[in-house]
Structure 1
Amino acid sequence: MRILMLTEGTYPYFKGGVSTWTHDLIGNLKDFDFIVAAILPTPFYTPRYNMPPNVLGLLSIPLWGMEMVKEFSHEPLREAIQRRLKTKESEIRDDFAPYLRDFLRTLKGGGTSPKVMAEALYGMHLYLREHDYKKAFKSKHVWRVFWEELAEDPLYGHIDVSSLIETSRVIQHLLRILAYRFPEVDLCHSSAAAFCGIPAVLLKMEYDVPYLLTEHGVYFRERALDAVRGASNIVEKILWMNLFRAIVRLNYHYADKILPVCHFNVDWEKELGVPADKIEVIYNGVDLNRFKPMNIPQDDVKRIVVMARIDKLKDILNIIDAMETVSEKHGDAVCEIYG
């Protein structure tokens, strides 16, 4: 069996809990072959893991730092030139822009129709894998779609023009994943309900490949926190939250099984429309040879233990604020953070 393992900002380029989980999973499933498709910020990273021998290949998908989408994928120059030459304005208008419009319309509503979004992504994918990505997104027809769907929208038109242009550019970079060809496999397994799950949706639509989704953190929750802290005004925040909500709903809809690592995630998944019979909690395993109960002298201290790295997504500042309230009622309480 060949499995396409899909990651985003984690394995094999960055160390962390999800990367460790991915590495251990692949390494322990020796009878299965894996191809890793990894989304990363730029192409200027090197793998931090020595991948197991059952990894047949690594497809790296940088979203930034490249003039041409497949600049670092060793695509023959002749093929790149041919794709550029056959990318015509009339085809962009007729065969690409309508799908982009459907995508943006679905995005604006937070992805209430995952099937429409999937068809839009698949249509753009079929076009971009045969044509030049850069030329397509520079087309006046594409920018007209962005303008009509965002700047002329009754709500999103309140975002200033410079921010709308920058938002459109970011969306273009996020959609670079659509320009790649993905191998036909027996199973897709994504480590997040994120953009890295889009290839699984595309392969399900084209070959009916089963899709397994493991949620470590709640992607929508994490992106919502980023949007609230980063966007300049309320309408811009709504736009970004609807984009992330749409991508998450897309993954939830097309995944055959959703496997969160804890019950906390289940509440978020149900809130976003996932039926209960589609969810099965599978906790992260513990290596009992490395971690086992120890005989430690007990004391009477009220101790709160937090297992988390020092990162804004882990809400450490809220823990500190909460401890002030706790200490008012329990003066001897302490909080220990490990991570």
Structure 2
Amino acid sequence: MAEKELMQQEQNYADITLLLEGTYPFVRGGVSGWVHQLIEGLPQYTFALIFLGSRKRDYDKPKYVLPDNVVHLECHYLWDPFSLSEPKACKGNNEYILKSRKLHDWFRNPCSSFDEAEVRKLLVSLGQLSGFTMEEFFYSVATWQHICECYDEYDADNSFIDYIWAIKAMHAPLFRLASIAHQFTYRTGTFHTLSTGFAGFLGTLLHYITTRPLILTEHGIYTKERKIDLQSLFIKEHHDLLSDAQYMGMQYQEILWVRYFESLGRLIYKASNPIISLYEKNRERQITDGADHDRTKVIPNGMEVERFLTIRAQRPEKIPLVIGLIGRIVPIKDIKTFIRAMPTILSQLPGAEGWLIGPDDEDKEYAQECRDLVLELALEENVHFLGFQKISDVLPRIGVLVLTSISEAFPLVILEAYASGLPIVATDVGACREIIEGKSDEDRALGCAGIVVPIANPEAIAEAVITLLTDKNRWHLAKKAGIQRVENYYTQSRMLDDYKTIYDQVLTQ
């Protein structure tokens, strides 16, 4: 019997182990929907899931029913309190720190040499008695001296307290990830991480420890998204900068965190093969950020068009004066721009409604700010927060789907809208332009399936929505282009065939 067949018969074996950071199965969204689609669409493989969250209290029960071919799920929370021994000063492993300096030098200068064998040994021994323990990191003289030297060299003009806590906050989760990697008992054919960041770092450790291949699929560029998150936090918190000392030095720490995630990204790119993106622009960004050109590959999202034929048939002949936004109520989706566009839309289309369709429990403070904005603009009769809804129930009742995001990768909801016969207005982020206007001459010949607008521009959103809802001919041409585009280029079967090919290749290694 072949080795793979013997392994599949073992109780603690999965063909693919998916590494999931803050997504499936506890958070709804585009990436989570994609994961569920992948697992259900490839029932011939078994999957193990490692979920990485922030704190356990931040998550409720799973939002998805796990398919039968999911044979294992384990959850870890990186920001829950750590179990450390009583503080006790120790000498620390100077040899390990000296070797780690070479890795940090490479982080600062990616053009310098990268000794993969040395890095492998360094990372595999992280958190181990034979290498460098968490207690040594927090309590040793060697660590203290190293942090002081780095501060003097790179950050002497800023607060030392801010610097040391930033360094400790950055490194603490890496020790937890090292512990997760060493305690993972499932045998697996391959690891597949859905991002760089912490999930990707865990994948790198597991790849080094087990020698099994690591696949990376980036739906969005992790470092770019973290930069947006940090800038958003910085802008939000600095309104009271002079009166609250805890925010002093935030600007430097923001830069430090961005560099941290960029460094992790380069490390993960070195360990991954293939490195998959959803569209060409992101593949080029991966290469710029350190990915090997020959390892990169584009696999667009796809969806089951046939499932939406019934929804398409339910679409009324008269275009509904309903503007829908399907997505989480979070800052990166820029819900406030959608709300601010509504007064202009209502000035031309008094009976129009704006529907915000998606969960609002991820960032409750922001969701409340959005509700307050609706009241402030006296839009409570026209703008409605519908929460999570079955997409089949709402798509036929919408006239135009709007995405106001300040960052996206390849929004699956656009493909779902096309398959249901619905035109799009979307900001010029991620793959939105090529999905709406076409990515090749042949594709562009199908026509525009909607309108692309600048980010954070309520007037542009309003103008585009009004154009589509008042120009029946343009609306129907956009509908036709969207249907043809999704049927020609973005089917689920095409996407699943690409992943089946990759899985079959790595599972034979």
Residue equivalent to 1:288: 305
Alignment of 1:19-168 (within 5 A): 19-44=32-57, 45-48=59-62, 49-68=64-83, 89-90=90-91, 92-94=92-94, 96-107=96-107, 109=108, 115=114, 119-120=118-119, 122-130=121-129, 133-140=133-140, 141-149=142-150, 151-154=151-154, 156-168=155-167
Alignment of 1:1-339 (within 5 A): 2-44=15-57, 45-48=59-62, 49-68=64-83, 89-90=90-91, 92-94=92-94, 96-107=96-107, 109=108, 115=114, 119-120=118-119, 122-130=121-129, 133-140=133-140, 141-149=142-150, 151-154=151-154, 156-175=155-174, 176-180=176-180, 181=182, 182-183=184-185, 184-231=187-234, 232-292=249-309, 293-294=312-313, 296-297=316-317, 308-315=327-334, 317=337, 321-324=456-459, 332-333=466-467
Supply the distance in 2 between the matched residues of 1:147 and 1:121 (Cα, whole angstroms). 26
Contact 2:120–2:208 (Cα < 8 Å) also in 1: no
Supply the distance in 2 between the matched residues of 1:31 and 1:114 (Cα, whole angstroms). 41
- Displacement after TM superposition at 1:148 (Å): 1.8
Note the alpha carbon deviations across 1:9-43, whole angstroms, 9 max, x for none.
11222222212222232233322222212211123
Mean CA deviation greater in 200-209 or 247-256: 200-209
Cα pair distance change 1:334/1:143, threshold 3 Å: farther
Contact 2:269–2:291 (Cα < 8 Å) also in 1: yes
Cα pair distance change 1:327/1:221, threshold 3 Å: same
Supply the distance in 2 between the matched residues of 1:15 and 1:327 (Cα, whole angstroms). 28
Cα pair distance change 1:122/1:226, threshold 3 Å: farther
Supply the distance in 2 between the matched residues of 1:277 and 1:323 (Cα, whole angstroms). 41
Unmatched segments (≥5 aa) in structure 2 = 5-14, 235-248, 338-405, 407-426, 428-454, 470-509
SS of 1:192's partner is coil
Contact 1:106–1:116 (Cα < 8 Å) also in 2: no
Q: Which amino acid aligns with 1:145?
A: H
Supply the distance in 2 between the matched residues of 1:213 and 1:43 (Cα, whole angstroms). 26
- Displacement after TM superposition at 1:127 (Å): 4.1
Mean CA deviation greater in 21-30 or 314-323: 314-323
Contact 2:134–2:172 (Cα < 8 Å) also in 1: no
Cα pair distance change 1:129/1:19, threshold 3 Å: farther
Contact 2:21–2:195 (Cα < 8 Å) also in 1: yes
SS of 1:152's partner is helix
Note the alpha carbon deviations across 1:178-237, whole angstroms, 9 max, x for none.
222134422110111222112322233344321211111111110111233335454333
- Displacement after TM superposition at 1:93 (Å): 1.7
SS of 2:291's partner is coil
Supply the distance in 2 between the matched residues of 1:88 and 1:185 (Cα, whole angstroms). 40
How many equivalent pairs are there? 314
- Displacement after TM superposition at 1:101 (Å): 3.6
Contact 2:275–2:295 (Cα < 8 Å) also in 1: yes
Contact 2:277–2:299 (Cα < 8 Å) also in 1: yes
Q: CA RMSD in A?
A: 3.7
Q: Which amino acid aligns with 2:163?
A: L
Supply the distance in 1 between the matched residues of 2:110 and 2:127 (Cα, whole angstroms). 22
SS of 1:280's partner is strand
Cα pair distance change 1:17/1:96, threshold 3 Å: same
Residue equivalent to 1:80: none
Mean CA deviation greater in 128-137 or 49-58: 128-137
**% of aligned pairs identical?**
25
Q: Which amino acid aligns with 1:68?
A: S
Contact 1:220–1:248 (Cα < 8 Å) also in 2: yes
Cα pair distance change 1:327/1:206, threshold 3 Å: closer
Kindly indicate whether structure 1 or structure 2 has the higher relative contact order, using CA contacts under 8 Å at least 6 residues apart.
1
Cα pair distance change 1:34/1:98, threshold 3 Å: farther
SS of 1:57's partner is strand
TM score, norm. by length of structure 2: 0.53
Contact 2:93–2:136 (Cα < 8 Å) also in 1: no
Q: Which amino acid aligns with 1:160?
A: S
- Displacement after TM superposition at 1:249 (Å): 1.7
Q: Which amino acid aligns with 1:195?
A: F
